[in-house]
Structure 1
Amino acid sequence: MTTRTSLIGRLVAFSAARPWLVLLLGLALSLAALLYTSRHFAMTTDTAELISTDLEWRQREIAYDAAFPQQEDLIVAVIDGATPEIAESAAASLTAALREKPGLFRSVRRPDGGPFFDRNGLLLLPLEEVQATTEQLIRAQPFLGPLAADPSLRGVLGSLSTVLEGIARGQAGLHDIAPAATALATSFEAVLAGRPAFFSWRALISGTSPGPRETRRFVLVQPVMDYRALQPGTAGSAAIRDTARQLNLDPAHGVTLRLTGPVPLADEEFASLAEDAGLVTGAMVLALVGILWMAVRSIRFVLAILATTILGLIVTAGLGLLATGRFNLISVAFIPLFVGLGIDFSIQFSVRCLAERTVHPDLREALATAGRGVGRSLALAAAAIAAGFFAFLPTSYIGVAELGVIAGLGMGVAFLLSVTLLPAMLMLMRPRAGGRAEFGYAALAPVEHALHRYRRGVLLAAALAAVGSIALLPLVRFDFNPLHLRSPTVESMSTMADLMADPDRTPNTISILLPSPAEADALARRLEALPEVSRTVSLNSFIPARQEEKLALVQDAAMLIGPTLEAVQPAPPPTDAELVRSLSGTAAALRQAATGTGEDEAAARRLADALDRLAAGTPAQRAAASEAVIAPLRTLLGQTRALLSAGPVTRADLPPELVADWTARDGRVRLEAYPQGDPNDNAVLRRFSAAVQAVVPEAVGVPISIQAAGHSIVTAFLQAGVLSAAAVILLLALVLRRAHDVTLAMLPVLLSGLLTLATCAALDLPLNFANIIALPLLFGMGVAFNIYFVVAWRAGEHDLLQSSLTRAVVFSALTTATAFGALWLSNHPGTASMGRLLMISLGWELVVTLIFRPALLAEPPKRPATL
C-alpha cells in the first residue's frame, strides 16, 4: 500500500507543479466527452426495457403483447357528456375525425360504440333492463312519431300542444307533461341567460338521471410513438386535443375530454417531474454552495470543487454513453449519484489540504501532503463504491444494471479528478491560507472522551438498536404499485383513479390466452367461482344470452314504433316566423291548462314564461334553443332506429375489430378476469393475482406484472447487495489484511442501514420503485465514510472526532443530505419519497459517525499498520 500511497502523492504533486497542463488535459477530455455525448446521445423512455426479457413473466408478457399489438402504447380518451346523447355524439365525431389522420395514429377504435353496439348493444344487457327499455320506448311512441315527422323545435312544441289538447278534453293531466315542461324550461332559461343548455331525451323517457355508465364513452387511440423524445406520445395527445377543440368538444358544449392510459401516464410523469425542477434544482444548488462554503470557508475552494464536479459529470456521461449505448429512466440517476459521491472525494481532499496548510503554509506542499494523507483512503473508497455499483451487472434489473456501469465508471472519474484536476485548479486559483490552528472540531473533545470512557455502554446501546431494528424489518413494506408514485393531480392519473373506482372499467384485470372458445367458457366458470374474481369477459360475452326472449321484446317494440320512425318524410325546418308563432301558441295553451296552484301547474307556467321570452327574443336565441333540443333528438332517433333493427347475433356477426381484440392471430382466445373488491388496493390485487395464477399460472395482466416487477427489483437489489457486500469485504480484506479491521469498517454501514429500514417500518414509509434507487448512494457513502476512519485509525491517528476528517465527513453528508433532500420538496410522490429516504438515511449516518464510530474505534490498533 506504501507504493500506491506514494504514487497518489506524486500524482498530486505533479498536478500541482504543472497546473495548466493538467487543466488543459481535463478540459480536452471534457470537451471530447461532450462532443461524443452530443453526437451519440440516446435515451429510451420505454419502461418495458428496464427489466430483463429473460424472466419467465416478462416472456409471457411479451408473447401476449405480440398476440395483441393493438393494445400496446394506448391513449384512452375518456369522454364525459352532460347527457348520454352528447357523450355518444362526441365519441362518434372524435373517432371519425381521428381516423382521418393515419400519419399520427396507427389505430382508432371504440370499445363501447359503433354500428354493432348501436344495433345490438341493448341485447347485451340483462333481460330485465331490455324489458324496461322497450317499455319506455313504447310509452314514448306518441312523442317519437310526431318528432320523427318534424324533428324541429316546432315539432316538439306541436307534440306538446297535442297533449295539451288532450288535457283540455280531460284525456290527460298536467302531470303527464310536467317532467318535460321542467326539462324544457331549464334548457330554454339557460339559453336566454347565455349559458350552455343540455337537454336529454333519454333521461326524459327513462324518468331517471343518467349515471356515468350512460354519459361516459371511450375512444382507444394508438399513436405513432417517438421513443427518442422524453415524452414519446406528446404529438398524439396534442393532436387528439386539437381535434377535439376543432369539433367544439369542450365543457361549453357539454363535453369533458380527458386522456389517460399508458402513453399519457408516462408522458405526464415527465411533465410533473419537470414542474418542480426549478424549485428542486434551485434548492439543491443553494444547499450545495452554502454547505460547501461552510465546509471549506473559501470561495475559491468552492469554485474549484464545483468546477471539478461539473467536468467530471460531463466525462462520466460520455463514458457511460460509450459503455451502455443509451440512457434509460433509471440510469440517468447517475447524475445525483456522481454529484453526491464525487463531491465527497473533493471535500475530503480539500478539508485535508486546509488542515495541512496550518502546518505547511506553501500551497503546493500542502496539496502534496494532503494527497499522501488521504489519497490512499480515497482510492480505496472509490474502488469499494465502484465494486458495489458493478455488482448490479449480473441482475435482471437492466435499468439499474446500466446505472451501475455508469456510476461505477463515475467513481473512477471522480477519484482521478479529485487528485489531479482539483489540485491543479487550486494552484491556479491560489486560495489564501486559513488562520485556524486546527481545521477540525476541538470543541468535541469532551464528547469524544465521554464516548471513550463509556465505550461499552455506547456499543451495547448500538447492539440493542440493531436488534430492535432487525425486529422491525418484517414490517418494512414494498409498495409494488407504480401508480402510487405518480402525481394524483395530473389529468392522466386523476382520470385513471376515477376509472379504477369503477369495478367494471378498472384496468387492473388479468388476461389468459386459451386454445378455443369452449375452453375459455370452462375456465370462466372456474374463475367466477373464486371469491377474488367478480366476473370474466371473453369474446363470447358479446354474444347475447337469452336472445330469443330479448329479441321478442325488441320486435314487439319495433312493430309499434318502427312504422312511425321509418315510413316518414321529415318536414322541412320551420322559418323563424313560424317558430315564433309556435312558441307563442304553445305558451298560451300552457297557461290555459295551468289553472291550479300545484307543482304541475307551476312547471307549465314556468315553461310558458320561457316560451314567451324566446318568442320575444332574438333569432339567435331561438336557434340556440332549437339546437339544444333537436341535436339530442337526432341522436336519440338514430339510436332508436338502430336498436329496433336488432337481430340474432352469432360469432360470425361480431365485427372484425372486436374479434381482433379478443382473438389472437393464431386463433387463441382471450379471457379477462376482474377483481372482487377495491381494484386499487394492493392487498386486493395480491389476493386476486394469487388466486388466478393458482388456477392459470401463465396468466398475464397489470396486477401480475407490477407485483412480478416489484419482486424482480427487490430480488435484484438483494442480489446486488450480497454481491456488493462480498466485493467490498474482499477488497477491504486484501487491503487491510485483518478480519478485525474489516469488521470495524463494515459494522457502521450495517448499523446505519438497519436503522434506516427500521425507521421506514416505524413511520410506515414503504420502499418503492423510486426511492429504492437511493440505496446505492447510501451504501456508497456509508462504505466511503467508514474506510476514511478505519484507514486513519490504522495509520495511528487519534481523537478522530475532533479531526479534520470528521469535519469533512460531516459536511460531505450534509451536502448530500441537503442537496438531495431538496427532492422532498417535489410534488411528485416518487421523487419526494426518494428525498425523504435520503434524509433519513444520511441522518442516521451522521448519528453513527458522531456517536457509534468513535466508540468503536476507541481502542488503538493491535499492531502498527503496514500500509
Structure 2
Amino acid sequence: MPNPYSTSQRLFLGWIEFSYRHAAWILLTLLLLAVIATGYTARNLGIYTDTADMLSEDLPFRVNLARFNESFPQYDETLLLVLDAPTPEQAHQAATRLTAFLQAAPASSGEIYHLSGEEFFQINGLLYNDPDELAQLADRLSAAQPLIARISRDPTLHAFLEVLNEAIEALRTGRELELAAILRDVATTLKANESGTRHPLSWQALFQEDDRKTSYREFITLKPELDFEQLFPAEQIISTIRDAVRELDLEGQYATQLRITGEVALSHEELNSAMLGAQDAGVIALICVAVILFVALRSIGSVITVLVSLMLGLMLTAAFATVAVGHLNLISIAFAVLYIGLGVDYAIHLLLRYAELAKDHRPGTEILLIAGRDTGRSLIICALTTAIGFYAFTPTDYSGIAELGVISGTGMLISLVVTLTAVPALQRFLPVKAEALHKRTITSWLATHWLRKPRAVLLVTLLTALASATTLPYVQFDHNLLNMQNPQGEAVRTFRELLADKDHTPWFGAIPAHSLQKAEQLTRELAQLPEVNKVISISDFVPTQQTEKLALIDDIALTLGPDFFAEIPQRANAHPIEQQQAILETLQQSLERFVAERPEHPTSSAAYELSTTIGALRSRLAALNPPQSMALLEAINQDLLGLLPDSLERLQKALTAEAVDIQTLPESLRVRWQSATGDYLVLAYPASNIDDNEALRRFVRTVQQHAPQLSGTPAIILEAGDAVVNAFIQAFALALIGAVLTLLWLLRSVASTVLVLIPLLLAALFTVTATVVFHIPFNFANIIALPLLLGIGIDSSIHMVTRSRHHRLTGHGLLHTSTARAIFYSAMSTMAGFGSLSFSTHLGTASMGLLLAIGVFFILVCVFLVLPNLLQVLDRTSMTINKRESGA
C-alpha cells in the first residue's frame, strides 16, 4: 500500500518519531548544546548603545551629520553638567573647581569646556552687555562706591553694618540712595541663617542685576572618550564626576547642586532602564506564561516540557545572535521577551492536539505521529510567516530593527526545530494525559454565545472596520526620543527643564558654512524667521559698539578709583562682641526711625523687613553665651561678606577689558566655531519649546528651506523618524507580500489564503485605531508592532483555517477543538510576554509591549469572532448553492 504522506511529511514525522524513540540521547545532546551556547554567548555577546548608528549612513541627514561631526567633533557625544546655586558667585566657584578637578583626573579623559570660566570672558564679559546695561551698572557702582571702598579696606561685619547705618541716616536726611535691594538681601541672608540654612549675600547680583533670582546656573560641557564595546560606556565618567562632587563637597561649601544630562547621560539612563525593563519583563513573562500553560494543560509535567523547550530555544537563539550580529542594541535587547511570548506557541498546539487524541488510549508513538501530522503543516507555515514578519525588517534603513528581525526571525525557526525535537523526547517521560483537557473552556463559551447570528456579527465587524478607517488620518508618529525614556530619570528631567528655556535649550540647529561671509549671511537670514529665537556664529563673539562700551568701562574704573584695584585683605571678624551688638542695635534703631518718618518711601518695606530680622537676631544673641555669640556673629560675617572678595576680583578683571576681534578670540573658543577644514558653524535656536512634535517639525522644516545642510538633534530626530516610518511601510509591505506568497505556496488555495488574511488585516486596522483612541502614538520602538503582528497574527488564522479545511469543521465544531484552545492559550501567552514589557520604566519598550498586546488581543477577537462566523456563513452559502444545483 503506498505511503499517503509526501516526502516532506515523512521527514517531519520521521524526525518526531526519532526524537521520541531516542529521547535520552536527544535531551542530553540538547542540554550539551545549550551549555555550550550559553557559555559562548556570555563571553562574546556585547551591547551596542550608539543609537545614531541604527539608521543607514546613506540617508541624507546621516550624510549631513557625518560632515558636521567631522568638522565639529566636540559637539558629538557630550555630557552637560548643570550646576545650580543660590548665588552667581557660588555657582561660578563650584563650576571652576569642578572643571579644574576633572581636567586633572585621568579617568575623565576628553575635552572639558566651562564657557564662563574662560579667562577671556572674565576680562571682556562686560563688552557683551548693551550700552544701556553698562550705563545702569555704572550708576549702581557709582552710588555704591563709598560702600565698596570702606568694605574693601575693612571687610568685617562691624564695618559693613556701620556703612549701612550711615546710608540709612543719609536717607533720613533726604538723600536719594537705592538701598532697597541690599537691605532686602541682607534680611534674606539673616533669615536663612536663623532657620539653619545658608544663603550668602551675592555682591555680584547687587552690582550687576536688577532682578533677584532664587537660583543661578553654570554649565560645563564634557566630551568623554566612550567605549561602546562596554555594557555601560558612560558609567566610568559619570561615576568620576559624582565622586568629584563628593570629594570637593560642592554642596556643603557652595550650596551647589549638580545634575548630569546631555546625549551621553540620556543614552546611559536609557540603556539602564531598557536593560532593567527587559530583565523584569522577562521574569514577569516567564511566570505568566507558566501560569497560562498550567491552566491550558493542567499538568506540571507538560508545563515543564514547554518551559524546557522554551529555554533551550532561547539559549540557542542567543548564541545565534552572538554569531550572526555580535551584539544587542537598545531595541533588539527585547528579543528574549518576544521569544518567550512566541516560543511556546508550537509546543502548545502540539501538546493540546496530543491530549485530544490521548482519550482514544492509543500508543504514545502513534498519538504523537498523528498529532504531528495534524499540526505539522500549520506549524511550519506559522514558523515561516512569523519569521517573515521579523525578516521584513532586514532590508530597511533602520539597522537597529533589522538586527532584531534577523535575531527573532531565526529564533522562530530555531523554536520550531527545538519544539519538534525536545517536546517529543520529553513526552517519553512526561506524557500529556487526556484528562488534562478542560470539559468547558472559553472557546466553547464563545461557540455558545457568538455563533448564533453570524451575519449580524459580520455586519457589525464591517461597520466597525469602516469607522476605524476614518481614524487613519489621525495616526501620529512621535519623533521625540525623550518620550521613550524613563521620565523620572535625572538626565531626562534636567534636559526637559532646559528645553523649556529658550536661551539655554540644548536642542538647536547646527549648520556648517563654507566661509565666514556665508555664515554671517545665514545668521542674518535665519534671525528673521519667526520659528527662530536667536542665531549665533563666531562673528557674534566680536562685541558691537566697542568704542562706546570701552569708554563706559573706563568711566566705571575711574569712578571706583585706583584703590579699588588693590588686593582685598582677608580679615576675620575681630571686633568685640559688645561693639558688634551695639552697631546692630544702632542700625535697628535707625531703620525703625526711617520707617516711622518715611513710611511712603520706596525703601521703607525693605527697611522694615531688615529691622524685624535684626531684632530677631539680637534676641538670639541675648540667649547665647559669649563663645556661642561670637560663633554666630562669625557665621553671619561669612554669610554677608564671604563672597565679596570673589565678586570684587571678578569685577576688577572685567574693568580691564580691551578691544576684541576674531583674531583675538581664544583658541578654545575658535575651534568650537571654526573647523580645521575651514567650515564656520552657525547655531539656530528655536523660538518655541521643541519638546513638542509640531513645534519641532515647524522649526526644522523652516530652517531647512534656508540651510538644507542643517544638522543637530532636532533635524536628526525628525529625519530619523520619517526614515523609520518609511522603513516600516516597506517592512509591512514586505511582510504582507511574503506572507501571501508563503500561504499560496503552502495552502495551494486562494480562498484559504484570503480567509487567513481577513482577520489579520482587520486586527491591524483595529490596532492602528487604538493608537488614536488611546493616544498611543507610534515611536522608534513600538512601530515594529504592525509588521510583527502580521507575522504573529497569521499563525492563529492559519491554524483555524487549516483545521477547518482538513476536518471540514465550522462554527461550534471548530471552536470545541484542541486547535481553538491552543490558539486561545497561545495568544494569551503571547499577550503575557508582550504585555510584561509594558511594565518597563523605559517608555519606548513599554509602549512596544502595550501595542503588541493590544494587537494580539484584536487578533484573538477577530480569529474567534469574525473567522468562525465567516466560515459558517460561507459553509451555509455553499450548502445552499449545492442544494439548488442538486435540485435543478
Please give the range of the TM-score, normalised by the shorter of the 2 chains. over 0.9
Q: What's the secondary structure of 1:703's corresponding residue?
A: helix
CA distance in 2 between partners of 1:521 and 1:127 (Å): 23
Matched residue, 2:713: 702
Structure 2 residue 843 is matched with structure 1 residue 829: yes
Q: What's the secondary structure of 2:134's corresponding residue?
A: helix
| 1:287-333 Cα deviation digits (max 9, x unpaired) | 21211111111111111101110110000010121111222222222
Q: Which of 6, 9, 12 is 2:10 aligned to?
A: 6
Matched residue, 2:661: 650
Which AA in structure 2 matches 1:84?
A: P
CA distance in 2 between partners of 1:777 and 1:689 (Å): 31
CA distance in 2 between partners of 1:326 and 1:275 (Å): 17
Query: Once the 2 structures are TM-superposed, how far is the Cα of residue 628 of structure 1 from its aligned partner?
Result: 1.7
Q: What's the secondary structure of 1:800's corresponding residue?
A: helix
Which AA in structure 2 matches 1:843?
A: F
Gap change, CA 1:105 and 1:489, over 3 Å in 2? same
Q: What's the secondary structure of 1:221's corresponding residue?
A: strand
Alignment check: 8 A CA contact 1:61 1:700 kept: yes
Matched residue, 1:38: 42
Q: What does residue range 27-426 of structure 1 map to in structure 2 within 5 Å?
A: 27-160=31-164, 162-163=166-167, 170=173, 179-205=181-207, 208-211=210-213, 215-250=216-251, 253-273=254-274, 280-426=281-427
Q: Which of 586, 591, 601 is 1:589 aligned to?
A: 586
Query: Once the 2 structures are TM-superposed, how far is the Cα of residue 705 of structure 1 from its aligned partner?
Result: 0.7
Gap change, CA 1:207 and 1:569, over 3 Å in 2? closer
Structure 2 residue 827 is matched with structure 1 residue 813: yes
CA distance in 2 between partners of 1:856 and 1:749 (Å): 13
CA distance in 2 between partners of 1:787 and 1:432 (Å): 26
Matched residue, 2:571: 573
Alignment check: 8 A CA contact 2:339 2:408 kept: yes
Structure 2 residue 697 is matched with structure 1 residue 686: yes
CA distance in 1 between partners of 2:672 and 2:621 (Å): 50
Matched residue, 2:551: 552
Structure 2 residue 840 is matched with structure 1 residue 839: no
Matched residue, 1:735: 746
Matched residue, 2:500: 501
Q: Which of 767, 774, 789 is 1:756 aligned to?
A: 767
Matched residue, 1:662: 673
Alignment check: 8 A CA contact 1:123 1:550 kept: yes
Q: What's the secondary structure of 2:49's corresponding residue?
A: coil
CA distance in 2 between partners of 1:605 and 1:322 (Å): 76
TM-score (ref. length: structure 1): 0.93
Query: Once the 2 structures are TM-superposed, how far is the Cα of residue 360 of structure 1 from its aligned partner?
Result: 3.6
Alignment check: 8 A CA contact 2:46 2:231 kept: no
Query: Once the 2 structures are TM-superposed, how far is the Cα of residue 618 of structure 1 from its aligned partner?
Result: 4.4
Which AA in structure 1 matches 2:704?
A: Q
Q: What's the secondary structure of 1:61's corresponding residue?
A: helix
Which AA in structure 2 matches 1:199?
A: L
| 1:190-212 Cα deviation digits (max 9, x unpaired) | 33553223221233345744338
Q: What's the secondary structure of 1:222's corresponding residue?
A: strand
CA distance in 2 between partners of 1:604 and 1:471 (Å): 70
Q: What's the secondary structure of 2:393's corresponding residue?
A: coil
Matched residue, 1:561: 560
Q: Which stretch of structure 1 is more off in the superposition, 222-231 or 711-720?
A: 222-231
Identity of aligned residues (%): 34
Gap change, CA 1:691 and 1:182, over 3 Å in 2? closer
Q: Which stretch of structure 1 is more off in the superposition, 69-78 or 466-475?
A: 466-475
Query: Once the 2 structures are TM-superposed, how far is the Cα of residue 6 of structure 1 from its aligned partner?
Result: 2.9
Matched residue, 2:734: 723
CA distance in 1 between partners of 2:110 and 2:569 (Å): 42
Query: Once the 2 structures are TM-superposed, how far is the Cα of residue 228 of structure 1 from its aligned partner?
Result: 2.8
Query: Once the 2 structures are TM-superposed, how far is the Cα of residue 752 of structure 1 from its aligned partner?
Result: 0.8
Query: Once the 2 structures are TM-superposed, how far is the Cα of residue 274 of structure 1 from its aligned partner?
Result: 5.4
| 1:581-604 Cα deviation digits (max 9, x unpaired) | 552342243245346353536634
CA distance in 1 between partners of 2:52 and 2:766 (Å): 34
Q: What's the secondary structure of 1:76's corresponding residue?
A: strand
Alignment check: 8 A CA contact 1:182 1:607 kept: no
CA distance in 2 between partners of 1:359 and 1:437 (Å): 16
Query: Once the 2 structures are TM-superposed, how far is the Cα of residue 832 of structure 1 from its aligned partner?
Result: 2.7
Alignment check: 8 A CA contact 1:503 1:678 kept: yes
Q: Which stretch of structure 1 is more off in the superposition, 754-763 or 354-363?
A: 354-363
Q: What's the secondary structure of 1:700's corresponding residue?
A: coil
Structure 2 residue 55 is matched with structure 1 residue 17: no
Alignment check: 8 A CA contact 2:286 2:340 kept: no
Alignment check: 8 A CA contact 2:285 2:341 kept: no
Alignment check: 8 A CA contact 1:532 1:687 kept: yes
CA distance in 2 between partners of 1:603 and 1:370 (Å): 91
CA distance in 1 between partners of 2:224 and 2:556 (Å): 42
Query: Once the 2 structures are TM-superposed, how far is the Cα of residue 44 of structure 1 from its aligned partner?
Result: 0.7
Query: Once the 2 structures are TM-superposed, how far is the Cα of residue 172 of structure 1 from its aligned partner?
Result: 5.2
Alignment check: 8 A CA contact 1:141 1:561 kept: yes
Query: Once the 2 structures are TM-superposed, how far is the Cα of residue 280 of structure 1 from its aligned partner?
Result: 4.2
Gap change, CA 1:8 and 1:141, over 3 Å in 2? same
TM-score (ref. length: structure 2): 0.91
**Two-structure CA RMSD over aligned residues (Å):** 2.6
Matched residue, 1:607: 614
CA distance in 2 between partners of 1:195 and 1:846 (Å): 61
Q: What's the secondary structure of 1:769's corresponding residue?
A: coil
Which AA in structure 2 matches 1:539?
A: I
| 1:350-374 Cα deviation digits (max 9, x unpaired) | 1111111122453333222211110
CA distance in 1 between partners of 2:421 and 2:56 (Å): 39
Alignment check: 8 A CA contact 2:277 2:837 kept: no
CA distance in 2 between partners of 1:104 and 1:133 (Å): 39
Alignment check: 8 A CA contact 2:834 2:850 kept: no
| 1:236-291 Cα deviation digits (max 9, x unpaired) | 11211221122222278421211110111111123334566676455433321211
Q: What's the secondary structure of 1:140's corresponding residue?
A: helix
CA distance in 1 between partners of 2:412 and 2:285 (Å): 21
CA distance in 1 between partners of 2:788 and 2:740 (Å): 18
| 1:491-517 Cα deviation digits (max 9, x unpaired) | 111111110111111122111111222
Which AA in structure 2 matches 1:488?
A: P
Gap change, CA 1:295 and 1:595, over 3 Å in 2? closer
Alignment check: 8 A CA contact 1:164 1:589 kept: no
Query: Once the 2 structures are TM-superposed, how far is the Cα of residue 572 of structure 1 from its aligned partner?
Result: 5.6
Query: Once the 2 structures are TM-superposed, how far is the Cα of residue 17 of structure 1 from its aligned partner?
Result: 1.3
Alignment check: 8 A CA contact 1:313 1:335 kept: yes
CA distance in 2 between partners of 1:673 and 1:788 (Å): 57
Q: Which stretch of structure 1 is more off in the superposition, 670-679 or 460-469?
A: 460-469
Q: What's the secondary structure of 1:662's corresponding residue?
A: coil
Which AA in structure 2 matches 1:406?
A: I
Gap change, CA 1:574 and 1:333, over 3 Å in 2? closer
Gap change, CA 1:160 and 1:504, over 3 Å in 2? same
Q: What's the secondary structure of 1:345's corresponding residue?
A: helix
Alignment check: 8 A CA contact 1:351 1:804 kept: yes
The number of equivalent residue pairs is: 855
Alignment check: 8 A CA contact 2:285 2:340 kept: no
Which runs of 5 or more structure 2 residues have no equivalent in the other structure? 597-603, 880-888
| 1:409-433 Cα deviation digits (max 9, x unpaired) | 1111100111111121122224444
CA distance in 2 between partners of 1:5 and 1:605 (Å): 97
Which AA in structure 1 matches 2:746?
A: V
Q: What's the secondary structure of 2:47's corresponding residue?
A: coil
Gap change, CA 1:544 and 1:579, over 3 Å in 2? farther
Gap change, CA 1:148 and 1:520, over 3 Å in 2? same
Matched residue, 2:863: 849
